[in-house]
Structure 1
Amino acid sequence: MGRRGTAVGTVGTPGTKSRGGHKRMPRAVREQQMLDAAVTGFARHGYQAASMDDIAEAAGVSKPLVYLYLKSKEELFTACIRRERAALVEAVRAGTRERGTSADQQLWDGLCAFFAHTAASPDGWTVLHRARTQGEPFASEVAAMRVEITELVRSLLGQAAQDAGCDGDLAEREVSGLAHALVGAAESLAEWANARTDDAPTAKETAATLMNFCWAGLENLMKGSRWTPGPRAR
């Protein structure tokens, strides 16, 4: 208990000084250091195998201080998910904020932003990608992120369908499904791109792969050219 008290005492109030005359680190800065170390640890080892001792050491703090700030390993992992989720959603939203551009251009900008972020923050993306398999409450956090991004894509596709004069049935029935499919494909491509080491594609190359896969089909669909199963299909 005495050692824990010493660790806690090093935090202090932002701007105050320790007994040695050094400024104490603000809590928010210290907490971000902990989250940085935790994201790296969880990405490399997974939730179950990641060590709180190793995370504390990487952050340059004592393990009791990590527990003081974030209470438990579960809360630490949840905090990591929420931080990385917010950063990814904001990156995608920022990529689609330019008004007056066509739906396909906004989708392209959003995909470029998505793949640029996942490439620049591979550990954060790994944490998000794996969290869905760790049960609750982690899966719900990732599901909420997916809902946000899917709704953004759905609105873009819906606007494109409306601009193309598609009937209401397409906009209501199929656009939502297409948005889910596109987001799922983007997630899979991000995992694929980040796993490549020798010839890793750029964010724009990965975005172009997905646009070439989806937009040609979407464009034909919006023009009324629909795929139908052959006579042998059941």
Structure 2
Amino acid sequence: MPREVRERQMLDAAVAVFARRGYRAASMDEIAELAGASKPLVYLYLNSKEDLFSACIRREAEALIAAVRAAVDPGTPADRRLWDGLRGFFAHTAAHPDGWAVLHCQARTHGEPFALEVAALRRRLVDVVTQLITETAADGGCTAPLPETEVAGLAHALVGAAESLAGWSNERDGAAASETAATLMNFAWTGLENLSHGRRWAPVAAGGGART
């Protein structure tokens, strides 16, 4: 069997075991058995358990980024691109719950170097969303460019909300990707539409409600 195919089988097995057991409780014996390979062969191809877990994180991160990018058609209106990006994100996390569990739950809880791998993924997602927010605001008639700090904050908030919703959706046996994406899109779009037209929320004196 070609090495590339064998390694993919090992990584598939490792993702399933790490998602189910967690990094510390996962057994290389169980991973090897699920992959249909010997444990020495797993070590030969992928070195240590730490290296194997890192390889799983990188593979699942790349697959998620690729899915989001592939879902966005550059020729469509900006709001449609944002919608398609969200739908691509939720479709992928629903179709690959073990991969998402490794990224969102397992890798975050074990410190370096795993948390650094996830942080790098998050930065890439934020970069994608930052561009989409900027383009959406401009296409929506924003009279002046939104401040960079505001766009960055919105992008981080949107990515954080998407991460939380993906976990929530998967715990419910995977709500439809379009349904979950629409939930977040409606929330985000209301704010972006207001910002695009210069309508901003601001606090007022106690008892006076809020003003825009």
Instruction: Compute the TM-score of the two structures, normalised by the length of structure 2.
Output: 0.93
Q: SS of the counterpart of 2:132?
A: helix
Q: Give the Cα–Cα distance (whole angstroms) in 1 for the partners of residues 53 and 131 of structure 2.
A: 31
Say if 1:92 and 1:111, in contact at 8 Å, map to a contact too: yes
1:73-88 to 2 correspondences below 5 Å: 73-88=49-64
5+ unaligned residues in a row in structure 1: which ranges? Answer: 1-24
Q: Give the Cα–Cα distance (whole angstroms) in 1 for the partners of residues 48 and 143 of structure 2.
A: 51
Q: Give the Cα–Cα distance (whole angstroms) in 2 for the partners of residues 33 and 172 of structure 1.
A: 43
Q: 1:146 to 1:166 in 2, by over 3 A?
A: farther
More off after superposition, 128-137 vs 84-93: 128-137
Q: SS of the counterpart of 1:140?
A: helix
- Find the counterpart in structure 2 of residue 192 from structure 1: 168
Alignment RMSD (CA, Å): 1.2
Q: Which amino acid aligns with 1:116?
A: A
Say if 1:119 and 1:194, in contact at 8 Å, map to a contact too: yes
Q: Give the Cα–Cα distance (whole angstroms) in 2 for the partners of residues 32 and 112 of structure 1.
A: 26
- Find the counterpart in structure 1 of residue 40 from structure 2: 64
How far the C-alpha of 1:180 sits from its partner, in A, is: 0.6
Pair 1:159-2:135 in alignment: yes
- Find the counterpart in structure 1 of residue 101 from structure 2: 126
- Find the counterpart in structure 1 of residue 23 from structure 2: 47
Q: Give the Cα–Cα distance (whole angstroms) in 2 for the partners of residues 193 and 85 of structure 1.
A: 19
Deviations 1:77-133 (A, max 9, x none): 00100110110000001111x123221100000011100000000000000002122
Q: Which amino acid aligns with 2:201?
A: W
Q: Give the Cα–Cα distance (whole angstroms) in 1 for the partners of residues 75 and 143 of structure 2.
A: 20
Larger radius of gyration: 1
- Find the counterpart in structure 2 of residue 135 from structure 1: 111
Q: Give the Cα–Cα distance (whole angstroms) in 2 for the partners of residues 165 and 192 of structure 1.
A: 33
How far the C-alpha of 1:41 sits from its partner, in A, is: 0.2
Instruction: Compute the TM-score of the two structures, normalised by the length of structure 1.
Output: 0.84
How far the C-alpha of 1:230 sits from its partner, in A, is: 2.8
Q: Give the Cα–Cα distance (whole angstroms) in 2 for the partners of residues 162 and 141 of structure 1.
A: 32
Q: SS of the counterpart of 1:186?
A: helix
How far the C-alpha of 1:171 sits from its partner, in A, is: 3.5
- Find the counterpart in structure 2 of residue 13 from structure 1: none
How far the C-alpha of 1:166 sits from its partner, in A, is: 3.7
Q: SS of the counterpart of 2:12?
A: helix
How far the C-alpha of 1:38 sits from its partner, in A, is: 0.3
- Find the counterpart in structure 2 of residue 21 from structure 1: none
Say if 1:161 and 1:171, in contact at 8 Å, map to a contact too: no
Residue correspondences, number = 205
Identity over aligned residues, as a percent?
Answer: 66
Say if 1:35 and 1:76, in contact at 8 Å, map to a contact too: yes
